[in-house]
Amino acid sequence: MYANSTAAMSELVFYVNGKKIVEKNPSPTTLLADVLRYKLKLTGTKVSCGEGGCGSCTVMVSWFDRSTSKILHYSVNACIVPICLLHGLAVTTVEAVGSTKTRLHELQERLVSGHGIQCGFCTPGMVMSMYALLRSNPVPTELQIEHALKGNLCRCTGYRPILDAFRSFSKDSGCPMGDRCCRNKDKKNSSDVVENCNENKNESDMGKQELIFPSELQLSDVYDQQTLEFKSDEVTWLRPVCLKDLLLLKKQHPEALLAAGGTNVAFYLRNASREKPLVIIATTHITELRSFEENEDGFLVGAMTSMTLLENKLMSLIDKHSETKTRLYHSLLDALCLFGSPQIRNRATIGGSLATASRLADVNVLLLAAGSHVKIASTDGEREVKIHDFFTGKSTTCLKPNEVITDVLLPFSTQDEYCGFYKQSPRKDLTLADVNAGLLMEFEAKNSSTVKNAFFAFGGLSSMLAVAKKSSSFVIGRKLDGSLLNELMLSLANELDQFVSGDDAKSFKVAVAQGFMFKFFLKISHQRFPKLEFLRLFKEEERYLLSSQADLQQKHSGVQVYDIITNQSETDSVGQPVPHRYAKQCATGEAVFIDDILPSQGELYLTLVTSTKASAKILKIDPSKALAMKGVVGFLDHTSIISSNKTGLYLDEEIFATEKVDFVGQTIGAVVAESHEIARKAARAVVIEYEELQPITTIEDAISHNSFHSWPGDMGAINYGNVSKAFGSCDHVIEGELKVGSQEHFYMETNSVRVVPKGEDGEMDIYCGAQFATGIQMVVASALNVPCNRIVVHTKRMGGAFGGKEFRSYLVTLPSALAAHRFNRPVRCSLERRQDMQITGYRRPYLAKFKVGFNNDGKVLALSLDMYSNDGFHPEISPIFMAQSLFYSDNCYAIPNIHVRGHLCKTNLPPTTAMRGAGVPQGVLICEYWMTKIREINMYRGGDVTFISVPIEDSMTRCFDEVLKQSNYEQALVNIENFNQQSAFLKKGIAVTPVKFSPGLPPSWCMAGAIVNVYLDGSVLLYHGGVESGQGLHTKMIQIASRVFDLSIDKIHISETSTGVIPNSVTTGGSSGTDLNGGAVLDACNQLMARLKPIKDSNPNGKWEDWVKTANEQKINLSASGYYSHAYKEDFDWKTGKGRPYSYYTYGSAVTQVEIDCLSGSYVILKVDIVMDVGKSLNPAIDVGQIEGAFVMGTGLYALEEHLFGANGHLETSGAGKYHIPTISSIPLEMNVSLLKDCGNPQAVYSSKGIGEPPLLLSNSVFFAIENAVIAARRQAGLSPDFAFNSPATTKQIQSACGLGPQHLLKSLVT
């Protein structure tokens, strides 16, 4: 098989955290994350998306580069790295960086103290990305730090505290307050604290505790020289170490896949169905493919060169050669800057990118335009191919089955040659392009304006890379002037229109491609003829056009200001910015999430078998192929049910579908096996036969088919005042519609459960990351036909939830419990990301139809509003959430006459569920949509009462006035107006939004319990019914206890939430966790202090431990059970419209400024100012974190995240690669948060207020700022300011709405 006679090794050797790992004949399908988690038990490495798109699984890989005699460190995604690629390499995981048992690493310490941790699931990945950077570059710039984290997603924090903590390692970091830094003040006389002060933090202990690179790998090249061969039943993995052997293997296995960086191989290994065994040839150690050669034509790059290494080489060449000679290299750096993520760039290779022939590959389209050459080799010889001839069709190249790419020539640019790379994508990072372009233009001679040659290539327009041949030829021989630009735009539009026929985004893609050409034309005009008279550009536009992608990167900043209490005991932590109680465990990877729990002997793994049809009769369920697989233990379906097959809040859902399926993702069965991998593979082998029926999938379909869920009782409409009469007296009446898109929770930890049968009396322990432990207990007890006292639910923490683990977690829990009961063995189920997204619910989308009447002074007199929500096939809690939308149809405005109605559409989509904001984000956006121009005259004032009888506090208007002052709103308006008058294709917008939100649950749920145990050593163990999901609930409960006991928080511990300790707990949601559970904890602690009071009085100088010891000696009970029920019990009467559903509001206001690119639709959030009334904060750092995180999540809802189902009911935006939550690049460049001073709230513990959801509503200011920028563009284009603009405000919608195409811009730019 190999040219030399040495036999291939079947033993894999690599190091993990300094320990040598030897695997004899490992399975080629095994991925690094699986080895770390399931074999080595290093569960600090998390798996969230399974496709290298979120960074949770980031680890560091190190190797000794013998060509430079240096140890190189780089971050990779462990979830997509096959272990067979690791021979002779060293892997470092978060466990080796620092530990609570020894000491934390400096970067972990700073992340903890900087409040950069909430749920903590993403934290180990963040730590490892930063750690890998610091090992390579101990003192990076702030932008390098941000760049290193662009491959890591976080759904909780909003990223700002993470960036602040890590940027303290940069030399140029400092306090954002400058001379006003709190460190420059007298602490005793200052109550203003700036949270992210980095002063004096850049003295690092880096290097003092770093893991030493294995000497064996550094001193010997034996592993580099070994040929490898690993086999399984399905895959053969071969690794040659010289080009000759590679070519022989490719001749013997022409169908073989080549694995260089391996970024795509994992998908073949795990997901592809194969009719015959797969052969993979790893090219990682072929030195001939990693060579570099500079010649007179350009730079010859080995095909195995990673994108990161290519980036470094190009920067060296740019430093070495003139700007004119390296123009292509500058453009390549632009492409690489936007390529994937750091983890992907560290592995992906230039040869691999070309071989995929992807129509969206950023590098490919530029190399095509630049006329690169590709060198190809086989056992038949070598050949060189022009890249124009290399790509032959859809994902195809001219490569013969036995050929491989060896080198790629990156040509030097000539003095008269210009090139550019452009990309438009839904999100800046971690996202494939909607459209990209590689553009080249060459002129006749120095100072000539006559075009000699041109080549225009585009990606994303069709199934393959598109070359605009006619337009390229059209410009040749023409002079660079306004006439050419105008004609070129028309030519390009006509030519590209043919490429995108049949695409529903046709006009958008053609317009974006035109915009690319427009920018390129202006760029080369200014580069070649800086004083060209026929063009005039605003300075900001000139900077935007001429700067590289790297130069356009801007660092993020912000200030967080709040009061802290100074006149209290040192041990009283209430009101202090205490870090998250379990932040250190999260930073070190020690925090245990559900799938981190080590399996017990005989533990089984379950995978759901779900429907692939939206509406169909089930004709046959055949699990025979699955049951025949080795390691499969059994299959469950509706015939396995012990008691009733009915479940759900209204018992209207089936555990397992029986005769019919009503949505894609409905559970039909479950496969139980001895490993995750076997169970998932077997689940795909179960055969389901259907008879398809016609589904209803949209709101419009539901309306036309009169398909609605019924409302319980009299709910569904509110009639306040006399709307009909009011409309008759209005000066103006406007009508309109607004669509609000849905949103996926995208919590980092997918729904997971572990069920352990106790072996007697039907007892069972359930470990799950669910918000409603009692709900899980009840449905499991019902399904197993046992009393609730036999089922104990344990929840230690959740890796995010946001409502998504409140009512749908039973989807994984019930089948797992049935399997554990049947096989009498522990069973766990952890959903893969795509399945979790398809089946577990989402925020409901809305269609609103409104009619508003107002007078000439802007005072609103009447509102008539119909809201339609797409609630899927089962209503679940839709009535409650639509009720919330109706209650907030006024937002912060006094409307004397209101008639609002809610309609619950029944469709063949998965049921919607709870999500952060509970129906309020939709209702508030709808209100603000029509209220924007007439806001202030209609705002409530302190002392007013809403139409649902809830009083308004003056802090609402105080927040509004304060944020206008803080943001310098009036001056910002003037600046933006001046900017928009001067700028042709960049427009700015500003918007201010007030909100009110009432934390709470339905009145019948407003109760909580707690138990506080004091032990003989003085330590305290606290239990309550709430669940920690990253919102800091446990931390606040500990702070409450610390105040009552006047005890250091280090003495107080919370282990978990358990139904075996706290019975009948309500769900943790509605921003009510602290209000309810805090009241119960306070009650229990007060009871204990009352018992201890006589002892304290008799020994006032004693210590806590002395009092506890004495109490025990006096046989005083040191355990107390606390209980709290909300004092406010009034409810809303839907029939009469009377009553008061809420006890208080949390208030806030935000001012947001944005800048949009009218040609592409891309936007930047320039600045956000927020002022929130949180009462007297229990923990201002946690509250600020909730504000920032909620705002960024809301930015996704209103301006980024498209959650789309196809007509067939399948989720089209499934997985991290297609569903785009905000990244670091999505957040505001400047984000300032202030907590309103001198506020209180007598209706909650220590005058605090619920804060988890209210700030999310403020992010609709992003939507309206974008809309205002679009209006400015439309005004310039001579279009009406009245236009359809729905949420989310995606780049596609922005570009289309602007109506400011190149033809309009020519009028303003060309003289």
* Residues assigned a catalytic role: 1253
What residue type is assigned to position 648 of the chain? Answer: G
CB atoms within 10 A of CB 763: 14
Q: Which of 140, 123, 143 is nearest to 57 (CA)?
A: 123
CB atoms within 10 A of CB 1004: 9
Distance CA 331, CA 974 (A): 36
Residue 879 phi, psi (nearest 5): -60, -40
Q: Which of 1040, 1036, 1039 is nearest to 1086 (CA)?
A: 1040
List all residues 6 or more positions away from 56 whose beta carbon is below 8 Å from its beta carbon.
46, 47, 48, 49, 121, 122, 124, 125, 152, 153, 748
Strands 11-16 and 90-92: parallel
Length of the chain: 1311
Q: Which of 635, 421, 648 is nearest to 516 (CA)?
A: 421
Give DSSP secondary structure letters for 1142-1195.
-S--EEEEEEEEEEEETTT--EEEEEEEEEEE-BS-S-HHHHHHHHHHHHHHHH
The CA angle 1274-1276-1279, to the nearest 5 degrees, is: 40
Distance CA 728, CA 940 (A): 24
First to last CA, the chain: 69
Task: Check: CB of residue 723 under 8 Å from CB of residue 853.
Answer: no
Give DSSP secondary structure letters for 474-523.
HHTT-BSSHHHHHHHHHHHHHHHHHHTTT-TTHHHHHHHHHHHHHHHHHH
Give the distance, in angstroms, between the CA of residue 430 and the centroid of all CA atoms in the same chain: 11
DSSP 793: E
Helix (H, G, I), strand (E, B) or coil at 287: helix
Q: Which of 1197, 1236, 1240, 1242 is nearest to 1220 (CA)?
A: 1197
Distance CA 234, CA 229 (A): 14
Distance CA 740, CA 1074 (A): 30
DSSP 201: -
Distance CA 374, CA 366 (A): 14
Give DSSP secondary structure letters for 883-933.
HHHHHTTTTTB--S-EEEEEEEE--SSPPP---TTTTHHHHHHHHHHHHGG
Task: Check: CB of residue 421 under 8 Å from CB of residue 437.
Answer: yes
Query: Which contacts (CB < 8 Å, 24+ apart) does range 1211-1214 have?
Result: 1211/664, 1211/665, 1211/837, 1211/838, 1213/744, 1214/834, 1214/837, 1214/838
The position carrying tokens 């559409």 is 905
The sheet that has 192-194: what strands, in order across it? Answer: 192-194, 557-563, 1230-1235, 1163-1173, 1146-1157, 986-997
List all residues 6 or more positions away from 559 whose beta carbon is below 8 Å from its beta carbon.
176, 177, 194, 196, 1232, 1233
Q: Which of 702, 1311, 1261, 593 is nearest to 960 (CA)?
A: 1261
Q: Which of 953, 1033, 991 is nearest to 1236 (CA)?
A: 953
Give the distance, in angstroms, between the CA of residue 874 and the centroid of all CA atoms in the same chain: 27
Task: Check: CB of residue 840 under 8 Å from CB of residue 831.
Answer: yes
Inter-axis angle of helices 1033-1045 and 1073-1098, to 10 degrees?
20
